[in-house]
Amino acid sequence: MTEQFATIAITGKPSDTAVVETIQRIAHHLGQKGRRILVDADIVDDDPAWQRVPHHALADSADVIISVGGDGTLLHTARLAVDHDVPILGINRGRLGFLVDVSPSRLEELDRILGGDYIEDVRDLLHAEIRRDGKVLSSAIALNDVVLYKWNTARMIDFTVYVNQELITDYRADGFIVATPTGSTAYAMASGGPIMHPSVGAMVLLPISPHTLSNRPLVIGSENEIEIEVSSDALDRVGISCDGQADLGLPPDARLTIRRHKRKVRIMHPPRYRYFDILRAKLRWGDIKLR
Active-site residue list: 71
Q: Which residues of 134-164 are buried (b: 16+ CB within 10 A; e: fewer)?
A: eeeebebbbbbbbbbbbeeeeebbbbebbbe
User: To which H or E segment does residue 146 belong?
Assistant: strand 145-150
How far is 258 from 241, CA to CA, in rounded Å? 12
CA 202 to chain centre: 16
Instruction: Give the closest residue to 63 by CA, choosing from 81, 51, 40.
Output: 81
How far is 198 from 279, CA to CA, in rounded Å? 12
What is the identity of the amino acid at 31? G
CA 2 to chain centre: 28
Task: Name every residue whose Cβ is closer than 8 Å to that of residue 88 and which is 6 or more positions away in sequence.
Answer: 64, 65, 66, 67, 74, 77, 78, 81, 265, 266, 267, 268
Q: Sign of the CA dihedral 247, 44, 119, 277?
A: negative
Neighbours of 208 (CB within 10 A): 22
